[in-house]
């Protein structure tokens, strides 16, 4: 998968891995990078043969060390508003796309990098990772959804402390508060995430997409309404070929061949 300058998109069977590819800038996110992210996620979402997306950074120092301050420093109000809208659109696309997105945090995930992590379905971190929302140190605030998603991912008091002090947390603390699922040595991080991605890719893709959609929307829905959506989605899957294939394979003690139909 080519045609990008600031990111790399690689394919391994049904799993795509997207690398932020500005190592000299600690993979900082500028406008061009965010626009490429939108294009790449659209490519993944529209490819029926791809079932899981991994986000990580090039090099061993940073996942993404924030938005590019050199580009932001002289922005006007309207320019800053458009930049925040673009970043929020990227995060919303990751959060709502029809395939799971997993973050492999290989170093610093600060500011916009942390916001991208929270737009993923779940995350794993290298043991040297540093994660945070340091924007107040620059006299601004998170603009890509950080003040809102952090409250939904970790205990409220810890989220408020992180945003209001700007102090980052290390990988061990991120694991303790539930921001990441596991912490691993550098050499194990991507193989571990790839193994989980391939495990998910073997499941029924319509069921995985439906489950992700329900879990994302259910966070902001009253429980009775969310349960209505769950049972309707559950029943709807019984009209698919994959449901019959999955259950027949189970009864016949063989591996299923899901086609996303």
At 173-230, the pLDDT tens digits run 999 999 999 999 999 999 999 999 999 999 999 999 999 999 999 888 999 999 999 9
Inter-axis angle of helices 112-119 and 146-153, to 10 degrees? 50
Q: Residue 220 has what pLDDT? A: 86
Where does the pLDDT of residue 1 fall: very low under 50, low under 70, confident under 90, or very high at 90 and above? low
Per the prediction, the chain carries an average pLDDT of 96
Where does the pLDDT of residue 3 fall: very low under 50, low under 70, confident under 90, or very high at 90 and above? confident
Q: Residue 234 has what pLDDT? A: 95
Q: Which helix (H) or strand (E) holds 55?
A: strand 52-57
Q: Residue 219 has what pLDDT? A: 86
Assign domain 205-251 to its CATH architecture. Answer: Orthogonal Bundle (1.10)
CATH T-level fold of 7-201: 2-enoyl-CoA Hydratase; Chain A, domain 1 (3.90.226)
* Residue spans in the chain of domains classed CATH 3.90.226.10: 7-201
CA distances from 37 to 105, 119, 202, 218, 258 (A): 17, 13, 25, 26, 28
The 10s digit of each residue's pLDDT in 134-186 is 999 999 999 999 999 999 999 999 999 999 999 999 999 999 999 999 999 99
Contact assessment for residue 122 and residue 230, using Cβ atoms and an 8 Å cutoff: no
Active-site residue set: 115, 135
Q: Is a pLDDT exceeding 80 seen at residue 2?
A: no
| Phi-psi domain of 104 (left: phi exceeds 0; alpha: psi -120 through 50; beta: other) | beta
Q: Is a pLDDT exceeding 90 seen at residue 123?
A: yes
Q: Is a pLDDT exceeding 90 seen at residue 118?
A: yes
Cα torsion angle, 226, 152, 186, 69, sign: positive
Distance in angstroms (rounded) separating the CA atoms of residues 212 and 237: 14
The angle formed by the CA atoms of residues 104, 105 and 109, to the nearest 5 degrees, is 145
* Residue spans in the chain of domains classed CATH 1.10.12: 205-251
């Amino acid at each position: 998968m080519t045609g990008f300058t600031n990111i790399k998109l690689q394919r391994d069977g049904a799993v795509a891995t997207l690398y932020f590819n500005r190592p000299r800038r600690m993979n900082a996110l500028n406008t061009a990078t965010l626009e490429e992210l939108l294009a790449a996620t659209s490519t993944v979402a529209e490819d029926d043969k791809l079932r899981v997306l991994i986000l990580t950074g090039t090099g061993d120092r940073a996942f993404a060390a924030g938005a590019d301050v050199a580009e932001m420093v002289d922005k006007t109000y309207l320019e800053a508003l458009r930049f925040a809208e673009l970043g929020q659109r990227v995060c919303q696309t990751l959060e709502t796309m029809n395939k799971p997105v997993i973050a492999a945090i290989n170093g610093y995930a600060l500011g916009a990098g942390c916001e991208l992590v929270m737009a993923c379905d779940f995350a794993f971190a290298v043991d040297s990772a540093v994660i945070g929302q340091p924007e107040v140190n620059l006299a601004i605030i998170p603009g890509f959804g950080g003040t809102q998603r952090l409250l939904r991912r970790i205990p409220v008091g810890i989220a408020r402390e992180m945003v209001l002090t700007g102090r980052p947390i290390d990988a061990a603390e991120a694991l303790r508060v539930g921001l990441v699922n596991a912490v691993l040595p550098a050499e194990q991080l991507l193989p571990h995430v790839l193994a989980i991605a391939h495990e998910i890719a073997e499941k029924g893709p319509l069921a995985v997409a439906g489950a992700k959609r329900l879990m994302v929307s259910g966070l902001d829905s009253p429980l009775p309404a969310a349960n209505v959506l769950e049972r309707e989605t559950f029943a709807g899957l019984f009209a698919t070929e994959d449901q019959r294939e999955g259950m027949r394979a189970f009864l016949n003690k063989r591996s299923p061949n899901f086609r996303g139909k």
